[in-house]
Chain A
Amino acid sequence: MRTQRISPSLKIIAAVAALFVALPLLSIFVRVPWSDLRDMLAQKSTRDALFISLQTSIIAALFSCLFGVPLAWFLARSESRGLSVLRVVCITPMVLPPVVGGIALLTAFGRQGIVGQYLYDWFGISLPFTRTAVVMAQIFVAMPFLVLAVEAAFRQSDNELEETASTMGASPSRVFFTIALPAARPAVIAGVALAWARSLGEFGASITFAGSFPGRTQTLPMAVYELVSVDYRLSLVLSLVLIFISVAVLAAMRDRWMVGR
């Protein structure tokens, strides 16, 4: 393999960039009260937030998969008009400030919301400030990541095999489940992991739409945010937990996201 020579000045700039990311993360490791770690992790508020975070993010990742994969298939294969508009709408939450997403969810599903008022009037269902709202906010923010990853895989996959299956008598839905989906499986798995990681870190949309009620809707990121001014040491511990989970996701997905040595 050819060794590429890199100019010293570029090396310095690269080092600054890497340090800029690494230093804050390392600082947490330095300052975490390691001696009290076990006690702090055992606190009820910590365990509640961790449980709510894991529960809501796993449900959100599963729903993102259940609905996002068919959406990705539609975006990849449909020839309907206005598809590009639909695609932009579907991935907007990726670039939208999450707090705006939260406001949007309130406007749609809040008690006076466009849909929410009928949910409340007809069925007595009030979504905001519930754990369901946490999950909805996470799906809103995370599903686009999955849709984009899976759509790309569907686009790359072999249309000819799908055609072949149809000449063998397979209906469009059988073609999807037996040919297209198995071919896209690695992307679906990566998309679920991505959606799950994104759900776990979700803060802006969920705190706006679901509030931060300890034991009910307070997830780990919300707890970290609220603890910064009250119990900084505990917020460090919770941050460490989130860093640990993020690194674990990266490690599990390293074949897909990391190239090189």
Chain B
Amino acid sequence: MSISLQGTIGRGEFERSLDFSVVDGEVLAITGPNGSGKSTIIHTIAGLIPLRSGQLQSENIIWDNPSVKTWIAPEHRTCAVVFQDLRLFPHMSVVANVAYGLRAHGVHKDEALSRSSAVLMQVGLSSFEKRRPENLSGGERQRVALARALVVEPRVLLLDEPLSAVDVASRAALRELLPEILSSFAGATILVTHDLGDVEAVATRSLGLI
């Protein structure tokens, strides 16, 4: 299995127990209303929020287990996140945003840029490389965020409401693009959403939170 979580996640007053695992090639959609902890799941797996109890593990590596005091820092987890609010770096160009993760992993600048260009082409943004995020539409920004996550070839891809920040027209285009991209993605994908249309479009399995 690529990623598994058995335990309790929490942030502030909120707490919830979970037990799921996702294998390579699978797209698990986690659905639920606002406040059901969807984003907390993503943040916990990414290492931004510690697990309250239980264990989070990828392959045979424990990422988080408070009872044995194991916690792997976010930068050492082989996952990539597309955040709900995207969080593109405003002071960097599109291609620099995408290349950032590769550079952080020690990839040489030239190679990082050419690999980033390739992924930008895959999401249909070849001619946008030099632009700043502020000069892009919501749908274009979403594609940059997606490219930024894919370029590092993560084992686990975490998508937090990937289609929530875009207008209706871009959403339709992204709903076509997303399955295409995910089908060629080798790792495990976890998608959290409140939109059942997203689930139908991309998920191979779903888990409902109440």
Contact = CB atoms under 8 A, between A and B. Distances in A.
Interface of A: 160-161, 163-171, 174, 178-179, 182-183
A235 B4 CA distance: 76
Given A174-B104, A178-B100, A167 B91 contact: no
| Most B-side CB within 10 Å, residue of A160, A165, A167 | A167
Given A161-B89, A179-B89, A182-B91, A167 B81 contact: yes
Nearest to B42: A167
B104 A171 contact: yes
B203 interface: no
B75 A166 contact: yes
Contacts of A160: 83, 85, 87
B79 A165 contact: no
Contacts of B22: none
B105 interface: yes
B89 A169 contact: no
Nearest to B86: A164
B98 to A, nearest CB: 10
B41 to A, nearest CB: 14
Nearest to A166: B74
A202 B57 CA distance: 58
A166 B89 CA distance: 13
A164 B152 CA distance: 14
A11 to B, nearest CB: 44
Interface string B54-85: 00000000000000000001111101110101
Contacts of A179: 89
A171 B87 contact: no
Nearest to B151: A168
B46 to A, nearest CB: 5
Contacts of B46: 167
B136 to A, nearest CB: 17
B148 A168 contact: yes
A224 to B, nearest CB: 43
| Most B-side CB within 10 Å, residue of A163, A166, A168 | A168
Given A167-B48, A171-B104, 13 more contacts: A160-B83, A160-B87, A164-B89, A165-B89, A166-B48, A166-B74, A167-B47, A167-B75, A168-B101, A170-B75, A170-B100, A174-B104, A183-B91
A31 to B, nearest CB: 50
A166 B73 contact: yes
